[in-house]
Chains A and B, each alone.
Chain A
Amino acid sequence: MGFYFAQFLTGLASASSLFLVAAGLSIIFGVTRIVNFAHGSLFMLGAFIAYSISQQFGFWVAVPLAALSVGAIGWVMERTVLSRLYGAPELFQLVATFGLVLIVQDAALWIWGPTDLLGPRAPGLTGVVRIFDQPVPEYDLFLITVGFSVLGAIWWMFTRTRFGILVRAATEDREMLQALGVRPARLFQATFFIGAALAGLGGALEMPRQPVSLLMDLNIIAEAFVVVVIGGMGSVTGAFLAALLIAELNAFGILILPEITLVAAFAAMAVVLVIRPYGLLGKQATTAPHAVEIQPPQTLGEAGRLAAAVLVAALFVLPIIAGDFVIVLTADIMIFALFAAGLHFMMGTGGLVSFGHAAFFGIGAYAAALLVERAGIGMEAALILAPVAAAIGAAIIGWFAVRLSGVYLAMLTLAAAQILWSASVQWQDITGGDDGILGIWPAAWASGTTAYYYLTLALTTVGIVSLMMLASGRFGILLRAGRDAPARAQALGIDIKLRNWAAIVIAGSAAGLAGGIFAFSKGSVFPDTLAIPNSVDALVMVLLGGLHAPAGPILGASVFALLEDSLSRLPYWRALLGTAVVGIAVFAPGGIAGSLSGWLKRRRERSA
């Protein structure tokens, strides 16, 4: 009995530190609708800054100062980057925060160096208390107290202060608040400051529990997302309950099934989203997307078609003039363009955002590799079956996903991708675990750089052209109707959910085909094809290219791949890439294709 109580307390301590991070993320989302990828970076900065201050002034001075400094950093982020993006499509902000993650990573490496830093323990709280004869660290009890205090303070602020009431009002209905004469800018700045400070506090308080390292940012962010989604986005009490659920699930789960740690949180998120689509304490109203302007259909004009034909022709003759490496790089870009085109189809035309698109890419890659390795079938059949397998996966995931919308749908896809990723890592007998599957090289006729390049060109062209035709045809029109005017579409007898489901399956099979081609081009498959960074890359490509431009994914994939390839030869290249991503998000909010076509249009108008 004593043992289980102490285990519960240990879980509660972990829940507290998770709550601090998730609460900030949740408040920021509630008010600004920004899914802040950089929240983990703020957590990490909190730990690093607290470490530096503690070397001079000790632990107890370092913790509050670090929280305030990180609050200030969050405020600067809001002022310099995010405040310029409130008018842009929501996902642009996500991409911009992803750029900030890269910048903070390199900044931290530059300032604090690569070595892990072990901060001081909390003076006065280094011992243990015996509860039912079980040792419970004093610091754990302190963390639990902090967690409850912060929850209480936020509750007080939200219910008893004018600021808090305004924040709640903004969470409920931002436009109405604006109409009532409240300046949202101030509110957003204050929210960002508080959210960031909470993340910084969480990071600083981690110092006695684990070394401060450059891996802290990405490690916490996925878990914080899970907590916020389970709790209901924008709900602080929900975040607290969810943090408790996740931490205790882990604390008791590992007593029974130690391997569960990798997947428990994401499995819990998937279950909660299926049963309660808007999280434990979330409300549908808080997540309804803004009224989307009716966007013009995505069709290529005369000039666009000509450009597409020229592009394919140019790609066809490329191997004659270019060296091997250029061909390999171009083939990579084509694969990513197909991957991004599927996501673009689903997001741009269907309004269905996926944070876990790597799931389908990975299913395709693994299906191809496993079919070759286990079933001994040839490359040709494997490349046909890869998109089929991804389509089946997409049908299953999509069946649950279409019942949700907006960020919740995105988060369910993320959970699905994470569950598949942990399966690929864990299920060593089948997938080879981290060691992956090797020796998946093309059939003899397609091997060699040039031959495989032509195969890639043919398959990706067919894939991308089919997606474009679907988007501009009858299916795309119905899909857009469901996106822009769901109520009217429903009244006209269009089954929106069915179309959305079909869109996910189509996007999934495109990603699966891309994954299959990728597996043969690299000769191997690893769990990273299913991991979060791969999903983020696809999102970045789509948004860089332009969400509402048919050529978006092609441009986005090209620019992203070329940027990564050219920058990665330089030191601190991630900061440069991050700056480029943020710059494009801020200065070209329609994406590259959107900005180009806007510029062309203006020019035409001027000359007319």
Chain B
Amino acid sequence: MKFPRLAAIAAVFAVSVTQANAEPIRIGEINSYTRLPAFTEPYKKGWQMALEEINAKGGVHGEKLEVISRDDAGKPGNAVKIAEELVKREKVALLTGTFFSHIGLAVSDYAKQNKVLFVAAEPLTDALIWSKGNDYTFRLRPSTYMQAAMLAAEAAKTDAVKWATVAPNYAYGKDAVAAFKQVLKKLKPSVEFVDEQWPALFKIDAGVTVRALEAAKPDGIYNVTFGPDLGAMVREGTVRGLYENRTVVSLLTGEPEYLEPLKGEAPKGWIVTGYPWYAIDTPEHNAFKAAYEKRWGETLKMGSLVGYNTMLSIAAVLEKAKSTDTDKMIAAMKGLKVATPQGEIVYRAADHQATMGSWVGRTDVVDGGGQMVDWRYIDGAEVLPTAEEAKAMRPTN
């Protein structure tokens, strides 16, 4: 009798020792915290909350998660240097984060070269998973193409035939306009694009831009400007009557990061993609919303959800892979299902894009602030190309 008991005690002791000694699983996180705090701070709060919840439940397979988070100051060269440090000195199991598309691409290329898993959280560029996709990179947030395609589908349902576009003059703006044109022309061949405006990012001269759009006399306007440019476009356009009797379709404008600062001057009746956190009424989302407000004392932003889903995805892949070996994690990422506050999302095996969707609706002013109304959730899978089409867009190597 004595022996087995001793063995049992020894076994328990051994287990507790290994648990006490068990290093937490380290995750390397990089983002542009000082360059664009308006978008990256809610994101950070999102993943921090998810991390706390995961660790409170005992972590993954009994191991706690630890995130080492660093600021790249908006410089891709810095981001690669930090990635190097996180991988080589901090021995992280995988990399995550990034907001700017070019920084996402730089880290993705580093991940490919150094055979590290990279779960890209926020960058929107299509190149990340298609033309410059690689085995090591997966992306959560719905891409430029997905969101533009959702809006083009709505735009095709309106009467507008003559369209003008306004987008910031860099890769994201160019991609967003190209995708919108492509999808809208396919759905409604009679449309015509009569003007394009390309203001410099965050340096828009809104008055003259509005007048140039007005001069083209379009039926519909497709807007890609965001942040301070958007506020200026709304003010200068409204005072000059640009949006009267016109269909306006606007990318990301329904996200609280962009819509909330406009307060009572938020445009009415624009067709937008965004995040109506105040009106989503599902048990999962209600729980998420309550927990976030309790933890941080502020309301949700798009970034909060993206950050939260990112950390959930990482926990899910570690859970499924049962290992921090890169190949095993990549195998687990393919087809990984994650239960999120917005429902289940799947990381597609074909192009490594998650099927996280977006909400499409119209803007309105409710209680003195901008909100989305008449919205519906569009699953990312509905607008993504088929697995074969997606595969054909990726480099073969």
Contact = CB atoms under 8 A, between A and B. Distances in A.
Interface of A: 3, 6-7, 10-11, 13-14, 105-106, 109, 114-118, 121, 126-128, 135, 137, 139-140, 208-211, 213-216, 219, 223, 247, 250-251, 254-255, 258-259, 261-262, 323-325, 328-329, 332, 425-426, 428, 432-436, 438-439, 441, 449, 518, 522-524, 526-529, 533, 568-569, 573-574
B205 A250 contact: yes
Interface residues of B, number: 68
Interface in B43-81: 70-71, 73-78, 80-81
Given A262-B200, A433-B170, A210 B235 contact: yes
A117 B231 CA distance: 9
Nearest to A106: B34
A55 B86 CA distance: 44
B106 A7 contact: no
Given A7-B211, A251-B205, A522 B239 contact: no
A522 B76 CA distance: 9
Interface of B: 34, 37-38, 41, 70-71, 73-78, 80-81, 84-85, 88-89, 101-102, 105-106, 108-110, 112-113, 125, 127, 132, 169-172, 174, 195-200, 202-209, 211-212, 215, 227-229, 231-232, 235-236, 239-241, 257, 260-263, 265
Given A3-B215, A128-B239, A439-B109, A323 B200 contact: no
A102 B98 CA distance: 22
6 contacts: A116-B227, A211-B228, A254-B209, A261-B205, A438-B108, A573-B34
B175 to A, nearest CB: 9
Nearest to A531: B75
Contact of B81 (A6, A11, A332, A433): A332
Nearest to A208: B235
B198 A261 contact: yes
B207 to A, nearest CB: 4
A524 B80 contact: yes
A117 B205 CA distance: 18
A137 B241 CA distance: 11
B261 A116 contact: yes
A11 B262 CA distance: 25
Q: Is the interface of B mostly helix, strand, loop or mixed?
A: helix
B84 A325 contact: yes
B208 A14 contact: yes
Contacts of B263: 118
Contacts of B198: 258-259, 261-262
A476 B142 CA distance: 57
Nearest to A102: B34
A258 B75 CA distance: 27
A325 B85 contact: yes
A436 B205 contact: no
Most chain B CB within 10 A, of A118, A208, A324, is at: A118
A10 B207 contact: yes
Contacts of A219: 202-203
A269 to B, nearest CB: 15
**Closest 8 A/B residue pairs (Cβ):** A114-B37, A434-B171, A211-B231, A324-B88, A210-B232, A325-B89, A10-B207, A251-B208
Nearest to A323: B89
Contacts of A328: 81, 84-85, 88
Nearest to A114: B37
Contacts of A137: 207, 236, 239-240
Given A118-B261, A213-B228, A255 B215 contact: yes
A548 to B, nearest CB: 29
Given A255-B215, A262-B200, A325-B85, A210 B228 contact: yes
Given A128-B241, A523-B106, 8 more contacts: A11-B208, A14-B205, A114-B37, A210-B235, A211-B261, A251-B208, A325-B88, A435-B127
A568 B70 contact: yes
A258 B210 CA distance: 12
A574 B73 CA distance: 9
A329 B84 CA distance: 10
Contacts of B37: 109, 114, 214
B88 A261 contact: no
Contacts of B74: 528
Q: Is the interface of A mostly helix, strand, loop or mixed?
A: helix
Contacts of A214: 37-38
Nearest to B208: A251
B131 to A, nearest CB: 9
A140 B235 contact: no
B354 to A, nearest CB: 20
Contact of A116 (B38, B41, B169): B38
A529 B110 CA distance: 18
Given A7-B211, A209-B235, A435-B102, A428 B174 contact: yes
Contacts of B106: 436, 438, 522-524, 526
Contacts of B206: 209-210
A247 B127 CA distance: 35
A528 B231 contact: no
Given A118-B263, A325-B85, A449-B88, A209 B212 contact: no
Contacts of B212: 254-255, 258
Contact of B170 (A140, A211, A425): A425
Nearest to B85: A325
A115 B171 CA distance: 24
B200 A261 contact: yes
Contacts of B88: 323-325, 328, 449
A115 B229 CA distance: 14
B71 A526 contact: no
Contact of B76 (A127, A436, A574): A436
A523 B265 contact: no
A6 B211 contact: yes
A430 to B, nearest CB: 13
Contacts of A533: 75
B211 A10 contact: yes
Given A128-B240, A438-B106, A115 B71 contact: no
B22 to A, nearest CB: 23
A223 B275 CA distance: 35
Given A210-B232, A434-B172, A574-B34, A524 B70 contact: no
Contacts of B241: 128, 135
A211 B171 contact: no
A324 B208 contact: no
Given A211-B231, A436-B102, A529 B207 contact: no
Given A128-B239, A211-B228, A214-B37, A115 B261 contact: yes
A3 B210 CA distance: 12
A535 to B, nearest CB: 13
B288 to A, nearest CB: 21
Nearest to B232: A210
B120 to A, nearest CB: 13
A84 to B, nearest CB: 28
B261 A523 contact: no
B187 to A, nearest CB: 25
A522 B110 CA distance: 8
Most chain B CB within 10 A, of A128, A210, A428, A518, is at: A210
B275 to A, nearest CB: 15
Given A115-B261, A211-B261, A435-B102, A569 B171 contact: no
B239 A115 contact: no
A7 B211 CA distance: 7
B231 A210 contact: yes
A223 B205 CA distance: 12
Given A118-B262, A135-B241, A223-B203, A522 B80 contact: yes
Nearest to A11: B208
B77 A518 contact: yes
Contacts of A573: 34, 71
Contact of A523 (B85, B110, B195, B197): B110
A438 B209 CA distance: 34
Contacts of A106: 34
Contacts of A325: 84-85, 88-89
